[in-house]
Structure 1
Amino acid sequence: MFTRPVLSDFAAVVREAARSALPPITPVARGEGLVLSFAQQRLWFLAQMEGVSQAYHMPMGLRLDGVLNHQALRYALDRIVARHESLRTRFVMRDGVPLQHIADAHSGFALQEYDLRGHETAEAELERLTGEEAGAPFDLEQGPLIRGRLLRLAEQEHVLLVTTHHIVSDGWSQGILVNEFSALYNACRAGEEDPLPPLAIQYADYAAWQRRWVSGEVLQAQSAYWQQTLTTLFMTLLAGWAALLSRLSGQHDLVIGTPMANRTRAEVEPLIGLFLNTLALRIDLSGSPSTADLLQRVKAQALEAQQHQDLPFEQVVEIVNPPRSLAHSPLFQVTFTWNNNEAGELKMPGLVLEPIGSPQVTAQFTMSLLLGEQDAVIGGGLAYATTLFERDTVERMLDYLRRILDAMVKQEYTPIEHLVLLGNAERERLLVEWNATQAEYPDRSCIHELIEARAAASPDTVALEHGGTEVSYAELNARANRLARHLRKQGVSPDTRVAICMTRGIDMVVGLLAVWKAGGAYVPLDPAYPPERLSFMLKDSAPVAVLMHAWIGEQTQYTLLAAAGFAPILDIEADAMRWNEEMQDNLPRSETGAGPEHLAYVIYTSGSTGQPKGVMVAHRGVGNLAQAQIEGFGIDADSRVLQFASFSFDACVSEIVTTLVRGATLVLPASETVLAGEVLAEVLEREGITHVTLPPVVLAGLPEEAQLETVRTLVMAGEASNAALVRRFGHNRRLLNAYGPTGIECGAGAAFRPQPAFAQCLWPDRNHGVRDDAGVRPAKRAGAGDWASDCQHPDLSARRAWSAGAAGGRRRDPYRRRAGGTRLSEPRCIDGRALCCRPVQQ
Structure 2
Amino acid sequence: MERENTKTSLLSRWKNKQKGKANSNSIKKAPENILIPLSGGQQRLWFLQQMYPKNPVYNYSECFNFKGNLKIDLLEKSLNLIIAANHALRSFYKFEKEQLIQEISSKDKIDLIKLDLSKLDQEEQDIQKQAILLSEARKCFDLDKPLLIRTILLKLSASEYILFITLHHIIFDKWSMDIFINQLSSNYSKLLSGISVEVDQLKLQFTDYAYWQQNKEIEATQLNYWEDKLGGNIPFLELPTDYTIPKQPSFKGAEHTRHLSEFLSCKVLDLAKELETTPYVLLLSVYYLLLFKYSGQTDLLIGSPISLRDQKALEDIIGFFDDTVVLRMSLSPAMSFSNLVKEVKRTTLEAFSNKDIPFDILVKKLNPSRLLRNNPFFRAMFIYHTALPCPSFGSDLEFAHSFYNAGVSKFDLTLYVVNADDRLSTSFEYATDIFSETTIIRLQDHLELLLEGIVARPNRPIAKIEMLTLKDKHFFFPEPMPQNKPFDSFEGIHQIIEAAAKKSPEAIAVTFQNTSITYASLMQKSDLLAETILNNTNGANEIIGLCVERSVSMIVGLMAILKAGCAYLPIDPEYPSKRIDYMLNDSNASIIVSQSSETVKFKNFRGTILTVDNAQDHSSNLHFQKLPIVNQDHLAYVIYTSGSTGKPKGVPITHGNIINSTEGRLNFYRGYPKSFLLMSSISFDSSKAGIFWTLCTGGNLVIAKKRLEQDLSLLGEVIATNSVSHTLMLPSIFQLVLEHSEIQNLKSLTTVIVAGEACASSLCKTYFEKLSGAALYNEYGPTEATVWSLAHQIKKEDVDGSIPIGGPVANCEIYLLNEFIELVPFGAIGEIYIGGPSLASGYLNRPELTKEVFINHPFKNDTSEKLYKTGDLGRYRNDGSIEFLGRIDKQIKIRGHRIELDEIEKVLDESPIIDKAVVLFNDSDEKQHFHDEVTEIMAYFNDYLNESEALELLDSIESLKTEEREYILHRMHQS
Q: TM-score, normalised by structure 2?
A: 0.78
| 1:51 CA drift (Å) | 4.5
1:202-221 per-position Cα deviation (integer Å, ceiling 9, x unaligned): 21221111111143xxx101
Judged with a 3 Å threshold, the aligned counterparts in structure 2 of structure 1 residues 192 and 492 are, in CA distance, closer, same or farther, namely farther
Judged with a 3 Å threshold, the aligned counterparts in structure 2 of structure 1 residues 654 and 295 are, in CA distance, closer, same or farther, namely same
1:180-214 per-position Cα deviation (integer Å, ceiling 9, x unaligned): 22223344455542256446222122111111114
| 1:832 CA drift (Å) | 9.0
Judged with a 3 Å threshold, the aligned counterparts in structure 2 of structure 1 residues 661 and 773 are, in CA distance, closer, same or farther, namely closer
| 1:294 CA drift (Å) | 1.6
| 1:570 CA drift (Å) | 3.4
1:234 maps to 234
Structure-to-structure mapping, 1:585-596, within 5 angstroms: 591-596=627-632
| 1:605 CA drift (Å) | 1.6
2:52 pairs with 1:62 = no
Match of 2:791 among 732, 742, 750: 750
1:107-162 per-position Cα deviation (integer Å, ceiling 9, x unaligned): x3244443445456222121112122222222223354221322334454433211
Residue pair 1:628, 1:762 contacting (<8 A) in 2 also: yes
2:472 pairs with 1:426 = yes
2:608 maps to 568
Q: Counterpart of 1:141 in 2: which secondary structure?
A: coil
| 1:349 CA drift (Å) | 5.8
Judged with a 3 Å threshold, the aligned counterparts in structure 2 of structure 1 residues 252 and 189 are, in CA distance, closer, same or farther, namely same
2:724 pairs with 1:671 = no
Judged with a 3 Å threshold, the aligned counterparts in structure 2 of structure 1 residues 101 and 436 are, in CA distance, closer, same or farther, namely farther
Aligned counterparts of 2:400 and 2:78: Cα–Cα separation in 1: 19
Q: Counterpart of 1:592 in 2: which secondary structure?
A: coil
Judged with a 3 Å threshold, the aligned counterparts in structure 2 of structure 1 residues 14 and 786 are, in CA distance, closer, same or farther, namely closer
Match of 1:726 among 764, 783, 789: 764
| 1:21 CA drift (Å) | 4.5
| 1:411 maps to amino acid | R
Give the count of matched residue pairs. 819
| 1:38 CA drift (Å) | 0.9
Structure-to-structure mapping, 1:116-515, within 5 angstroms: 116-119=117-120, 121-194=124-197, 197-198=200-201, 200-215=203-218, 219-238=219-238, 241-286=287-332, 288-340=334-386, 342=388, 345=391, 347=393, 350-355=396-401, 358-433=404-479, 436=481, 440=485, 442=487, 444-491=490-537, 493-515=539-561
Deviates more, 1:781-790 or 1:641-650: 781-790
2:872 maps to 813
Residue pair 2:41, 2:320 contacting (<8 A) in 1 also: yes
Q: Counterpart of 1:763 in 2: which secondary structure?
A: coil
Aligned counterparts of 1:355 and 1:690: Cα–Cα separation in 2: 65
| 1:675 CA drift (Å) | 5.5
Deviates more, 1:345-354 or 1:660-669: 345-354
Aligned counterparts of 2:97 and 2:628: Cα–Cα separation in 1: 91
Aligned counterparts of 1:482 and 1:175: Cα–Cα separation in 2: 92
Aligned counterparts of 1:53 and 1:617: Cα–Cα separation in 2: 59
| 1:774 CA drift (Å) | 4.2
Judged with a 3 Å threshold, the aligned counterparts in structure 2 of structure 1 residues 158 and 129 are, in CA distance, closer, same or farther, namely same
Judged with a 3 Å threshold, the aligned counterparts in structure 2 of structure 1 residues 301 and 532 are, in CA distance, closer, same or farther, namely same
Match of 1:766 among 771, 791, 813: 813
Q: Counterpart of 1:670 in 2: which secondary structure?
A: coil
Q: Counterpart of 1:401 in 2: which secondary structure?
A: helix
Aligned counterparts of 2:643 and 2:665: Cα–Cα separation in 1: 27
Deviates more, 1:445-454 or 1:314-323: 314-323
| 2:487 maps to amino acid | P
Deviates more, 1:774-783 or 1:471-480: 774-783
1:42 maps to 44
Judged with a 3 Å threshold, the aligned counterparts in structure 2 of structure 1 residues 76 and 561 are, in CA distance, closer, same or farther, namely farther
2:695 maps to 660
Aligned counterparts of 1:42 and 1:264: Cα–Cα separation in 2: 21
Residue pair 1:599, 1:619 contacting (<8 A) in 2 also: yes
Structure-to-structure mapping, 1:515-530, within 5 angstroms: 515-530=561-576
Q: Counterpart of 1:388 in 2: which secondary structure?
A: coil
Aligned counterparts of 2:13 and 2:810: Cα–Cα separation in 1: 71
Q: Counterpart of 1:767 in 2: which secondary structure?
A: strand
| 1:172 maps to amino acid | W
1:613-653 per-position Cα deviation (integer Å, ceiling 9, x unaligned): 121111111111111113322233x7211111222211100
Residue pair 1:437, 1:761 contacting (<8 A) in 2 also: no
| 1:739 CA drift (Å) | 0.7
1:266-313 per-position Cα deviation (integer Å, ceiling 9, x unaligned): 221112111112222222322611123222212222222222223333
2:738 pairs with 1:709 = no
Q: Counterpart of 2:57 in 1: which secondary structure?
A: coil
Please list every run of 5 or more consecutive structure 2 residues that lacks an aligned counterpart in the other structure: 240-283, 825-829, 900-928, 933-975
| 2:737 maps to amino acid | L
| 1:17 CA drift (Å) | 7.8
Judged with a 3 Å threshold, the aligned counterparts in structure 2 of structure 1 residues 12 and 169 are, in CA distance, closer, same or farther, namely closer
1:826 maps to 885
Q: Counterpart of 2:872 in 1: which secondary structure?
A: coil
Aligned counterparts of 2:333 and 2:842: Cα–Cα separation in 1: 32
1:545 maps to 591
| 1:393 maps to amino acid | T
Deviates more, 1:15-24 or 1:50-59: 15-24
Residue pair 1:678, 1:703 contacting (<8 A) in 2 also: no
| 2:66 maps to amino acid | L
Judged with a 3 Å threshold, the aligned counterparts in structure 2 of structure 1 residues 499 and 112 are, in CA distance, closer, same or farther, namely farther
Aligned counterparts of 2:173 and 2:227: Cα–Cα separation in 1: 27
Judged with a 3 Å threshold, the aligned counterparts in structure 2 of structure 1 residues 595 and 464 are, in CA distance, closer, same or farther, namely same
1:378-409 per-position Cα deviation (integer Å, ceiling 9, x unaligned): 11211222333332222222222222222222
2:931 pairs with 1:839 = yes
Q: Counterpart of 2:875 in 1: which secondary structure?
A: strand
Deviates more, 1:718-727 or 1:53-62: 718-727
| 1:295 maps to amino acid | V
Aligned counterparts of 1:673 and 1:84: Cα–Cα separation in 2: 78
Aligned counterparts of 2:49 and 2:623: Cα–Cα separation in 1: 81
Deviates more, 1:478-487 or 1:87-96: 87-96
Judged with a 3 Å threshold, the aligned counterparts in structure 2 of structure 1 residues 297 and 504 are, in CA distance, closer, same or farther, namely same
Cα root mean square deviation, aligned:
3.3
Residue pair 2:390, 2:399 contacting (<8 A) in 1 also: no
Deviates more, 1:640-649 or 1:405-414: 405-414
Aligned counterparts of 1:677 and 1:149: Cα–Cα separation in 2: 67
Judged with a 3 Å threshold, the aligned counterparts in structure 2 of structure 1 residues 839 and 81 are, in CA distance, closer, same or farther, namely farther
Aligned counterparts of 2:333 and 2:383: Cα–Cα separation in 1: 27
Q: TM-score, normalised by structure 1?
A: 0.89
Structure-to-structure mapping, 1:18-37, within 5 angstroms: 18=20, 21-29=23-31, 33-37=35-39
Q: Counterpart of 1:702 in 2: which secondary structure?
A: helix
